[in-house]
């Protein structure tokens, strides 16, 4: 058994149940892990503005946001930030208009949902996302995006494509937190359900896929727990940390 000193948890589809709350079982397991001296952090695709309340509810010290674009302490100290150049955002908006998909984006101070400013260059951008349930459209988008060298692609559901700056992912952000804590990735247990969790799951000492995870995530994991609606996070903590 590995000496786990840090637990990195995705939020949606992982830590949160389908009603977007943290189950009592998950809360109790996190509390017991922290009492044992294990750091617990959130590593999410969400913006700080839409995730900090969960971190505060659990008294978590570090939160990784926007797929690794930002790392914050809960005292709102910004540890790291990686941005997407405004010129790329402009190209992504053009692509969204061409294929007539729903899209959203995160700048450092705002979340944009299918409406974007004319003065794109005046904002600092962290992520862009497409969402479509049309497989043909999604394949056309991927065929274009995979040719771009300056971006990193992932998803947080089967219908979306998430775009970050090249080299930005949750694994790299977790590694930054590890360095601050004086531990290694081998001492991390990471839990997730989507493609934006794969690198974190692969590089952690123990990578856990949720029972509701996408198949590729399950294939990349060391162990598959129960679903997010069955306190899968608590099951993993009990098995690998609390024993």
**Residues designated catalytic:** 10
Alpha-carbon distance values, 93 to 75, 100, 128, 129, 205 (Å): 34, 10, 9, 10, 38
- Residue 216 and residue 195 in contact, taking contact as beta carbons nearer than 8 Å: yes
Give the single-character DSSP code of 22. Answer: B
- For the chain, helix (H) and strand (E) counts, in that order, are 8, 13
- Residue 202 and residue 187 in contact, taking contact as beta carbons nearer than 8 Å: no
Give the pair of three-digit tokens for residue 47. 């913006």
DSSP string, 72-136: EETT--EEEE--B-HHHHHHHHHHHHHHT-EEEEEESS-EEES---S-GGGS-EEEEEEE-S-HH
SS3 50: helix
């Amino acid at each position: 058994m590995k000496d786990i000193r840090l637990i990195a948890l995705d939020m949606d589809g992982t830590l949160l149940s389908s009603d977007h709350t943290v189950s009592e079982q998950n809360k109790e397991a996190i509390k017991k892990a922290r009492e044992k001296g294990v750091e617990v952090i959130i590593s999410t695709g969400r913006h700080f503005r839409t995730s900090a309340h969960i971190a505060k509810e659990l008294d978590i010290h570090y939160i990784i946001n926007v797929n690794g674009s930002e790392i914050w302490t809960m005292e709102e100290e910004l540890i790291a930030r990686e941005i997407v150049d405004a010129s790329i955002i402009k190209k992504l908006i053009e692509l969204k208009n061409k294929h007539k998909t729903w899209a959203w984006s995160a700048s450092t101070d705002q979340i944009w949902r299918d409406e974007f400013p004319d003065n794109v260059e005046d904002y600092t951008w962290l992520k862009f996302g497409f969402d479509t349930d049309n497989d043909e459209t999604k394949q056309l988008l991927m065929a274009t995006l995979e040719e771009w060298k300056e971006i990193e692609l992932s998803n947080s559901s089967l219908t979306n494509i998430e775009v970050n700056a090249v080299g930005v992912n949750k694994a790299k952000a977790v590694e930054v937190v590890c360095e601050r804590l004086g531990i290694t990735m081998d001492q991390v247990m990471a839990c997730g359900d989507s493609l934006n969790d794969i690198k974190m799951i692969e590089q952690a000492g123990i990578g856990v896929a949720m029972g509701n995870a996408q198949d590729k995530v399950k294939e990349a994991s060391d162990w598959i727990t129960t679903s997010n609606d069955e306190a899968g996070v608590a099951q993993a903590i009990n098995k690998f940390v609390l024993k």
